[in-house]
Amino acid sequence: MSKDSILIIGSNGQIGTELAESLRLIYGDDHVVCSDLKQPETIKGPFEIIDILDKDGVYSIIKKYSITQVYLLAALLSATAEKNPKFAWDLNMQGLFNILDAAKEGLIKKVYWPSSIAVFGPTTPSVLTPQYTIMEPNTIYGISKQAGERFCEYYFQKYNVDVRSIRYPGLIGYKSAPGGGTTDYAVHIYHEALKNGKYTSFLSEQTTLPMMYMPDALKATINLMEAPAEKVKIRSSYNVAGMSFNPLEIAESIKKHIPNFEIDFNPDFRQAIADSWPKSINDAEARQHWGWSPDYDLQSMTDDMILNLRKRMQ
Ligand code: NAD
Ligand code: AKB
């Protein structure tokens, strides 16, 4: 049994719900403490109410459970952040500082903090966007993620903090609902296809974005966290790619299961956010440094989503 004890902050969200399950399989229920602003409907292992902005509260939970690793997932995502930019900046940045400082002070040994493809902006080359390129994000979410990446690297270089990060694309899964992002349509579309046979997309038909199926995101996250430190050569955040598609293409993949499925389009404010992001990602460094490769493409993800959502709806 590993001696590590893990704290997930923001564990009720889209990633946290599934990450907690995966980490508990590896480390055991008692070694993975979940935490969020509110209690979830069902609690399987240790759970604590934590507000990431309450530094003393966070530190006391870290001490209570002798936590060695923190996965910091609490944040406002792109669409929600645009509605409350000042609060999004405060939450996304101060939350990160509280955990980086805990590591700097020797309270914890390892930190996971997710970045996003939102660090890229309209001036970034949008096809096969490389690890190192122009980064001029024009959303508050992207600005906070870019600043967060710089601070992760700074804390690694100055204070030897073992912080690891991935620039997730849009994530898609059947176990949990997305929490206010621009890529959320690619989750909603499956639910609406199965319930109503039709979906109105808030992004236009040709909006191609990088996406990833949740099992691949969990694999990337855990592989990066378990990689020997010398293999983690990038301490800002790693590009990782899964697949790229637009609303029309995901609809086509759904039609293989639901032939009468209909999609129409009514773009809203999220269109401008999506238009500022890459269409596809070059993840050569993640592949070379710690052996990343995805298992799912669009059709195999759709097959699995439909199969599992159908089971859940029975
Ligand atoms: P989510 O919105 O589904 O979950 C975030 C969780 O954080 C929620 O349960 C929320 O209650 C909690 N939270 C909010 N404020 C908090 C606070 N003050 N203290 C404690 N908890 C708080 O988000 P997610 O999709 O699970 O994303 C998790 C992380 O991954 C975020 O940093 C996000 O930017 C990043 N990310 C997600 C995606 C994606 O597609 N889901 C893509 C790229 C990056
Ligand atoms: C969002 O759309 O905000 C997230 C992300 C890509 O960071 N899914």
Q: How far is the CA of 63 from the centre of ligand 2 (A)?
A: 32
Probe target for ligand 1 pocket from 11, 15, 113, 270, with the most ligand atoms within 8 Å of CB? 15
Among the listed residues 141, 155, 213, 238, the single catalytic one is 141
pLDDT value of position 259: 98
Pocket of ligand 2 (CB under 6 A): 77-78, 116-118, 141, 169-170, 181-183
pLDDT value of position 2: 57
pLDDT value of position 3: 78
Please give the torsion angle defined by the CA atoms of residues 78, 120, 35 and 108, in that order, rounded to the nearest 10 degrees: -160
> 187 in ligand 1 pocket by Cβ < 6 Å?
no
Tens-digit pLDDT profile for residues 35-58: 999 999 988 899 999 999 999 999
Report, as ranges of residue numbers, the positions in the chain whose pLDDT lies below 70.
Answer: 1-2
- Going by their DSSP bridges, the two strands 198-201 and 166-168 should be labelled as unpaired
pTM for the full predicted model: 0.98
User: Could you give the C-alpha distances from 176 to 86, 171, 197, 217, in angstroms and in order?
Assistant: 27, 11, 21, 14
pLDDT value of position 97: 98
Backbone angles phi, psi at 96, to 5 degrees: -65, -45
Tens-digit pLDDT profile for residues 193-216: 999 999 999 999 999 999 999 999
Probe target for ligand 2 pocket from 77, 144, 171, 280, with the most ligand atoms within 8 Å of CB? 77
Q: How far is the CA of 277 from the centre of ligand 2 (A)?
A: 10
Q: How far is the CA of 77 from the centre of ligand 2 (A)?
A: 6
Q: Whole-angstrom Cα distance, residue 232 to residue 165?
A: 10
Please give the torsion angle defined by the CA atoms of residues 153, 158, 162 and 164, in that order, rounded to the nearest 10 degrees: 0
Ligand 2 atom, smallest distance to 118 CA: 7
> 166 in ligand 1 pocket by Cβ < 6 Å?
no
pLDDT value of position 225: 98
CA angle 177, 166, 131 (to 5 degrees): 130
Indicate the domain borders of the chain. Answer: 6-169+213-239, 171-210+242-283+296-313
User: Could you give the C-alpha distances from 12 to 33, 110, 171, in angstroms and in order?
Assistant: 12, 21, 15
DSSP string covering the chain: -----EEEETTTSHHHHHHHHHHHHHH-GGGEEEEESS--SS--S-EEE--TT-HHHHHHHHHHTT--EEEE-----HHHHHHSHHHHHHHHHHHHHHHHHHHHTTS-SEEE--EEGGG--TTS--SSB-SSS-----SHHHHHHHHHHHHHHHHHHHH--EEE-EEE-EEE-SSS---S-SSTHHHHHHHHHHHHSEEEESS-TT--EEEEEHHHHHHHHHHHHHS-GGG---SS-EE---EEE-HHHHHHHHHTT-TT-EEEE---THHHHHHTS-SSB--HHHHHHH-------HHHHHHHHHHHHHHHH-
CATH class of 6-169+213-239: alpha beta
Probe target for ligand 2 pocket from 15, 78, 209, with the most ligand atoms within 8 Å of CB? 78
pLDDT value of position 1: 47
pLDDT value of position 198: 98
Domain spanning 171-210+242-283+296-313, CATH architecture: Alpha-Beta Complex (3.90)
Other residues' Cβ atoms within 10 Å of the Cβ of residue 83: 12
Q: Which tokens is 128 given?
A: 């096969």
Told to judge if 59 belongs to the known catalytic residues of this protein, a careful annotator would answer: no
